[in-house]
């Protein structure tokens, strides 16, 4: 039997990039997957098709996870689809890179809302069904930027460092309910999010990475699938870097 058979997973921002890879991996392992998206309906439906073609079950659900009511509707749609919610992956994210001196207030606000407030919105709504079930897994997608900092990314680094603090605090709050909360901190992974980075910058990143390459969405998805598994039942409040050794804590 597949490791995640019978489990229901929700991946925010599952339409593209890392979220897409996570949705496919959880689907491959037998979970029913809700693929959340904001604007990319076609991409989300494609992810659903791939999961279904492989014999799995999946549903695409539109929701802007920066909005609490939208996150609540998203959790409700997940429960209507799967009857429960075992795995929440807070993956939706964005960047608005700029030196702080020139960063607009809206570039600050949108990054904090998308990367951090979304985790409050979705986790808060997910806790009720998880507490009722007496089991749950929350996996937050942080970043090495939240651990080590990165010039030009004060908004992004603050959101990801905040997400790490959120992970640890919530893990302490809900451990007694048999709900684990962990974070994965990827290094550089080629996706639409990193498409604007220059080749020079990526070459530099590879040079600084002991394993000598960029990450793949699968590298990240395997770590998420582990945190989501029964085998990770005694692990909570942890941050796992998936970055080829770029940032060693």
**Of the two residues 171 and 214, which places its CB atom closer to ligand NAP in the complex?**
214
**Of the two residues 12 and 182, which places its CB atom closer to ligand NAP in the complex?**
12
CB atoms within 10 A of CB 222: 15
Tell me how far the alpha carbon of residue 145 is from its chain's centroid.
Answer: 15
Residues with a known catalytic role: 156
Applying CB under 6 A, which residues contact ligand NAP? 12-13, 15-19, 36-40, 43, 64-66, 91-94, 114-115, 141, 143, 186, 188-189, 191-194
Minimum CB separation of residue 176 from ligand NAP in Å reads 28
Round to whole Å and give the CA distance between 110 and 91.
15
**Of the two residues 56 and 93, which places its CB atom closer to ligand NAP in the complex?**
93
Give me the residues paired with residue 140 across strands: 90, 183
Q: Please, are residues 54 and 32 in contact by the beta-carbon 8 Å criterion?
A: no
Minimum CB separation of residue 93 from ligand NAP in Å reads 2
Tokens of residue 3, six digits: 């490791």
Minimum CB separation of residue 64 from ligand NAP in Å reads 4
Minimum CB separation of residue 160 from ligand NAP in Å reads 7
Minimum CB separation of residue 177 from ligand NAP in Å reads 25
Q: Please, are residues 61 and 9 in contact by the beta-carbon 8 Å criterion?
A: no
Q: Please, are residues 81 and 8 in contact by the beta-carbon 8 Å criterion?
A: yes
**Of the two residues 33 and 133, which places its CB atom closer to ligand NAP in the complex?**
33
Grouping H, G, I as helix, E, B as strand and the rest as coil, residue 186 is: strand
Question: Distance of CA 85 to CAs 32, 46, 95, Å?
Answer: 10, 22, 28
**Of the two residues 93 and 178, which places its CB atom closer to ligand NAP in the complex?**
93
Tell me how far the alpha carbon of residue 77 is from its chain's centroid.
Answer: 19
Q: Please, are residues 123 and 91 in contact by the beta-carbon 8 Å criterion?
A: no
CA atoms within 13 A on the CB side of 218: 1
Round to whole Å and give the CA distance between 157 and 175.
27
């Amino acid at each position: 039997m597949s490791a995640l058979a019978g489990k229901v997973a929700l991946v925010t921002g599952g339409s593209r990039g890392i979220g897409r890879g996570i949705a496919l991996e959880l689907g491959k392992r037998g979970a029913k997957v809700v693929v959340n998206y904001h604007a990319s309906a076609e991409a989300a439906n494609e992810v659903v098709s791939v999961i279904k073609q492989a014999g799995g079950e999946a549903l695409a659900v539109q929701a802007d996870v920066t909005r609490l009511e939208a996150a609540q509707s998203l959790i409700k749609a997940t429960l209507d689809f799967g009857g429960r919610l075992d795995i929440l992956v807070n993956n939706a994210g964005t960047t608005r890179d700029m030196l702080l001196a020139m960063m607009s207030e809206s570039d600050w606000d949108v990054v904090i809302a998308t990367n951090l407030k979304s985790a409050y919105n979705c986790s808060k709504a997910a806790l009720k069904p998880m507490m009722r079930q007496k089991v749950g897994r929350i996996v937050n997608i942080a970043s090495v930027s939240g651990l080590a900092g990165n010039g030009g990314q004060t908004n992004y680094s603050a959101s990801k460092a905040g997400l790490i603090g959120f992970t640890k605090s919530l893990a302490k709050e809900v451990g007694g309910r048999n709900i684990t909360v962990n974070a994965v901190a990827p290094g550089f992974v080629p996706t639409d999010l990193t498409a604007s980075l220059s080749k020079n910058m990526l070459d530099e990143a590879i040079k600084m990475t002991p394993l000598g390459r960029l990450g793949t969405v699968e590298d990240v998805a395997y770590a998420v699938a582990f945190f989501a598994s029964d085998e990770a039942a005694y692990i909570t409040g942890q941050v796992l870097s998936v970055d080829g050794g770029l940032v060693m804590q």
